[in-house]
A = this chain, B = another copy of it.
Amino acid sequence: MTQTRTRLSVDERRAQLLKLGKDLFGDKTYDDLSIDEIARAAGISKGLLYHYFPSKREFYVETIRAAAEELMVLTTPAEDVASGDRLRVSLTGYINYVDENALAYATLLRSGVGADAEVSRIVEASRLAFVNRLLTGLQLDEPDPALRATLRGWVGFVEGASLDWIDHRDFDRDTLLNLLVTALTAVVAAAHAPRG
């Protein structure tokens, strides 16, 4: 056991621990996961874990950084991919990542370190209320799954565009309003269009 361990380089061991961290933090919140559990799951001593990461917080932050880097690599098409294919190739990488790391992805985007589950529930319930209201507006109480995902996506669009507006304040409110309205019309029409 010890021998196998020493054969791993420092970088390999770090990478291995960060991969493990992604799964562990996907499963439990930051507060609920103890250093003891992390060390046990890794099959190493707490002392050795601290050798690689001086604190639980540092381990968590590095886990997120490694996940962000992994996502960036997975969504970067090879140089020789034709420009017309690059978006699909990149998004396929993104979806693969989401698929394989569903728990970690959801945990990170819904909350973050030390996040409060109750707060996340309130925010998510508020988003769903928007989606449901849109469905009522569209007179669609039982949408097909792709339309439901499109509306949930549009709520994300509203939030992303609103955050951009707050950050820059370089266009007026009417432009933002029109942008949100036309985006909804456009994505709903796209969700109904035949796919290929």
* Interface positions of A (Cβ within 8 A of B): 57, 60-61, 64-65, 68, 71-72, 75-76, 83, 86-88, 90-92, 94-95, 98-99, 102, 105-106, 108-116, 118-120, 122-123, 125-127, 129-130, 133, 137, 145-146, 148-150, 152-168, 170-171, 173-187, 189-191, 193, 195-196
- Nearest CB of chain B from residue A31's CB, rounded to whole Å: 8
Contacts A156-B156, A179-B146, A179-B150; A166 near B98 (Cβ below 8 A): yes
- Nearest CB of chain B from residue A161's CB, rounded to whole Å: 3
Contacts A123-B64, A157-B187, A168-B145; A163 near B195 (Cβ below 8 A): no
Contacts of A162 in B (CB 8 A): 94-95, 98, 105
CA distance in complex: A159, B167 (Å): 20
Partner of A187, one of B99, B155, B183: B183
Contacts of A166 in B (CB 8 A): 98, 102, 105-106
Partner of A158, one of B86, B153, B159, B189: B153
Copies in the complex: 2
CA distance in complex: A94, B119 (Å): 20
Verify B179–A153 contact, CB threshold 8 A.
yes
CA distance in complex: A182, B175 (Å): 22
Verify B152–A161 contact, CB threshold 8 A.
yes
CA distance in complex: A54, B86 (Å): 54
Verify A170–B145 contact, CB threshold 8 A.
yes
CA distance in complex: A154, B150 (Å): 11
CA distance in complex: A144, B118 (Å): 38
CA distance in complex: A145, B137 (Å): 30
